[in-house]
Structure 1
Amino acid sequence: MKLEKESIRLLSKAIEKLESGFNLPDFNQHLDSSRMEEVMMKVAEKMQDNYPYFHPLFAGQMLKPPHPIAKAAYMMAMWINPNNHAMDGSKASSPMEKEVVADLAKMFGYKQHLGHLTGGGTMANLEALWVAGKSHPEKCIVASDQSHYTHERISDVLKLKFQKIKTDKEGKMDLSDLEEKLKAGDVGTVVCTMATTGLGAVDPLEGLLKLQKTYDFRIHADAAYGGYFKLIDNLEENTRRKYQLLHEVDSIVIDPHKQGLQPYGCGCILFKNPEVAKFYIHDSPYTYFTSDELHLGEISLECSRAGASAVGLWATHQLLPPVRDGEFAKDLSKSRNAAIQLFEKLDASDQFLTPMKPETDIVVWAVKGGSVSEMNEKANLLFKNAEKNQLYLSLYKYPTSKLMDPDFEIDSEYLICLRSSLMKPEHEEWLEEIWKRLEMSI
């Protein structure tokens, strides 16, 4: 079975259970089932024009299928279609959201928090930088040159100053370059990326916290991709220590729709200090009257938000709690194992160059050659041949300025590398097949 279908059976039973809770008269919805079926078959045919994101042979971009229970719970919630802005439209799903947000805050070690789900990591990061601007007005946001482009773009939207910090050859923030900018006294917030989307590199949080004792700035952890790696037991010791310090940062973003097995869009913003709620204060003449409890819209920049996201995540947490040594953490460890094993095969091969060892589950490598331009040509050809062999990879431009004493000619600004985000736990057991198809594609 290529596409999982058990969730359809679960969904059908769950809808019957859901319906039994409403003692209401029936009403006719006037559905044209025949026409709907015709349209849905057209939709299915259109959707065949996709890469197989759900399959272990898709080992390129960071696309991970939702867990069956997340899909079933999300779809079941759509029969109600709750809106998690106010309790009026989300009587059940707002409490679910508060519960899963508390789970995530606990995972990071926050003893208290303010937070909520968002439509995705971009919106979550926007709220973090919005609060940063309110907390340190007129001061600059800084992030590494390998951080997600959204930080620079959001800073522009918010009319905040933004600067990039240099990175080392492994894609981690250069603390010396950062301190030079801190000395000028103009930095209000430093974005610490907990696994970059390009290389999977984790910024040096320990060093940032030491600098914070000397200079006045906030630390925002963008853990959209890598936040859940805090749970796994097979990180390098240096990386593990960085994750253990996350409870000390001022705000954290995580995307359950990346490693957390959720459908798009499901992001989350967490603040260590609940007092930042003062920046959200607003009044609404018609939404906040049905309950004396906190309405999520009172601590969010978004208005209407899909309550189904909270329902899907709540169901997933019930089945697979985000805790150390749990089934969820063990599956995530398999992804890390797959990355280590692929790196070791690449590093032992006389055909490939590995610029750095993977810190999380993203592996980057180049094809050896006499010059960068020759290596780039080989990488592009391998990328195309791999797709013909039903192995789906991605490409990454690595700055040649970061290469240390290469034994080939530098005749281009960027070295084109192959890149694999080994996000699926199945990647570990499929690694030999992936390697076989990679060798066939050279």
Structure 2
Amino acid sequence: MISSIQKNSIGIEASKFDAFFLHQGKEGLEAFREQIDLVTEKLEKVFREADGPYTGQPPMELKQSLEEKLKIWNNPRPLNDVLEEWEPTILKNSLQVSHTKSIAHLHCPPILPGIAAELIIAALNQSMDSWDQSPAATYVEAELIRQLSRLVGLPASSDGVFTSGGTQSNYMGLLLARDAFCAKQWNHDVQAYGLPGEMKRTKVLCSEEAHFSVKKSISQLGLGEEAVIPIPSDENHRMNLQHVKETFTQLEQDGALPFAVVATCGTTDYGSIDPMEDLAELCQERNLWLHIDAAYGGGLVFSHQYKRKIAGLHQADSITLDFHKLGFQPISCGLFLLKDRQHYRLLSHHADYLNPEEDEEEGILNLVNKSVQTTRRFDALKMLLTLNTVGTDLLGKMVDQTMELAEYAASVLEEKSAFAVENRKPELTTVVFQYRPLRSENVSDWNRKIQQILFQEGKAAIAKTSVNGETYLKFTILNPRTSKEDIDKVIQEIEKAGTEMLNGGYQK
């Protein structure tokens, strides 16, 4: 007879669930291995049979095919049956970001140690908010951040936390900048009393080409988008230093209160890097917070040949880094660094059930004190496993390879009369250009159509963007396996599509 302790409230033996969870029992371990093997086999098949970055299925056709196949089931089904259904619908119609001709967005191929770490992360399922939920993981993240901070060049007073990515990291930088300013300027505690009325006068400066999350963060922080002053860019798409100085003068005359400058180390379109050292000097003179969004360009900390490009990064008060860009990690793997860890007090809250103040008195480290998130993944493990197995030397060579490929792509396009290259000397790994056939009437339409043709025919995944109101094409090279031959073939496909369009081969 089964006791009430052995049954749940609906009368089912608890052991009936054993095959659905990873646990120390034989049935759980065997089920885990079986399911991982099935998924591995299916993924190997999908990757092996992929002809290009995408199958070419149009959006509405894909949407309809998924709606017809997907539904919620009431009863258990074999994993293999589900994977068989998913193969032609979900798996094969996903973007093959690891394909060497997938060069559209800031979307890198995941390095194998990162993928392996994802399995460990999911299986262990540590939540990084309190030490008793993530005992070893807490100290792994803390130590890795200490070492990465030194790699960037930050002082011993620095600290950091892993985040979901650039948007969250930029938000944290501006949140701390706002509250530090209120404490310094008016001895005002925003956490306790909200925003003071004088905050209507505050301003934040950034490049007109800064990431949209700057304005988004400022609006969410209660200051309104009008508090963001966009500074014009120079011919190299960098924040114009003279305009910054003139803006400071004008703001002083207007009685405004600038409290932060956001520099961009790698804009989304051009990979341009603002003059970080000069901006740091200006901020120090005026006692302003400098946040550097290095979500893209921060990957050069590993570079052997190009690290000089990020000189001045270490002078920031806060920094955004994304290892799921030029660190080749699976999404997500962002990092927020803070020069002075004392500023974390501005977002720390204590909950008796989670991170009581007594824990701090006893020296127990609860990482929720440094994050705007509560539940948070053990993403630090991906970077640690990569650094432990690949090493910084080879990782740096991978970064350098992508940089060299961008320079090569720009030089090849520059030599061809049918193309106009916007950034002839790429700062990072993006190349913005336009196909300009002699007989075209609407250049923007031609370029938009070319991007769609290459994607829908599975030839290549490239991006499109806007320059002065016109549509341009863009390469974003983040795959060190991409070769010069791949670049040549993609350019040839663009020329082929353009020629066929000019000759009436495609419908506009």
Q: Is the counterpart of residue 177 in structure 1 residue 253 in structure 2?
A: no
Q: Equivalents in 1 of 2:442, 2:305: separation in Å?
A: 36
Q: Is the counterpart of residue 327 in structure 1 residue 394 in structure 2?
A: yes
CA deviation map 1:383-438 (0-9, x unaligned):
23333361221101012xxxxxxxxxxxxxx1211101011001234333333333
Q: Equivalents in 1 of 2:441, 2:399: separation in Å?
A: 36
Q: Is the counterpart of residue 383 in structure 1 residue 451 in structure 2?
A: yes
Q: Partner amino acid for 2:472?
A: C
**What is the aligned-residue RMSD (CA, Å)?**
2.5
What SS class does the counterpart of residue 206 from structure 1 fall into?
helix
- The total of aligned residue pairs comes to 399
Higher alpha-carbon Rg:
2
Shift of 1:42: 2.8
In the TM superposition, what are the counterparts of 1:262-301 in structure 2 within 5 Å?
262-288=329-355, 292-301=363-372
In the TM superposition, what are the counterparts of 1:397-436 in structure 2 within 5 Å?
397-399=466-468, 414-429=469-484, 430-436=486-492
Where do 5+ consecutive residues of structure 1 fail to align?
1-18, 400-413
Shift of 1:334: 0.4
Residue equivalent to 1:208: 279
Residue equivalent to 1:358: 426
In the TM superposition, what are the counterparts of 1:185-196 in structure 2 within 5 Å?
185=252, 186-196=257-267
* Aligned sequence identity (%): 22
Aligned pair partner of 2:167 in 99, 112, 122: 122
CA deviation map 1:290-344 (0-9, x unaligned):
873321111111100012x12222111212334xxx1000011000010000000
Shift of 1:242: 4.7
Where do 5+ consecutive residues of structure 2 fail to align?
1-21, 32-74, 183-198, 499-508
Aligned pair partner of 1:43 in 77, 82, 86: 86
Contact 1:343 1:358 in 2 (8 A): yes
What SS class does the counterpart of residue 79 from structure 1 fall into?
helix
Distance 1:213 1:76, change over 3 A: closer
Contact 1:204 1:242 in 2 (8 A): no
Shift of 1:27: 7.3
Q: Equivalents in 2 of 1:341, 1:285: separation in Å?
A: 57
Q: Equivalents in 2 of 1:100, 1:428: separation in Å?
A: 32
Residue equivalent to 1:315: 385
Q: Equivalents in 1 of 2:263, 2:441: separation in Å?
A: 33
What SS class does the counterpart of residue 467 from structure 2 fall into?
strand
Distance 1:91 1:33, change over 3 A: farther
Q: Equivalents in 2 of 1:259, 1:348: separation in Å?
A: 28
Q: Equivalents in 2 of 1:128, 1:372: separation in Å?
A: 46
Distance 1:301 1:385, change over 3 A: closer
In the TM superposition, what are the counterparts of 1:153-168 in structure 2 within 5 Å?
153-160=216-223, 161-168=227-234
What SS class does the counterpart of residue 426 from structure 1 fall into?
coil
Q: Equivalents in 2 of 1:347, 1:337: separation in Å?
A: 15
Q: Equivalents in 1 of 2:150, 2:494: separation in Å?
A: 41
Contact 1:251 1:269 in 2 (8 A): yes
Q: Partner amino acid for 2:337?
A: L
Q: Partner amino acid for 1:104?
A: L
Residue equivalent to 2:10: none
Contact 1:181 1:187 in 2 (8 A): no
Shift of 1:286: 1.6
Q: Partner amino acid for 1:57?
A: K
Q: Partner amino acid for 1:434?
A: V
Aligned pair partner of 2:465 in 384, 396, 408: 396
Residue equivalent to 2:141: 97
TM-score by length of 2: 0.73
Q: Equivalents in 2 of 1:44, 1:159: separation in Å?
A: 46
Q: Is the counterpart of residue 82 in structure 1 residue 153 in structure 2?
A: no
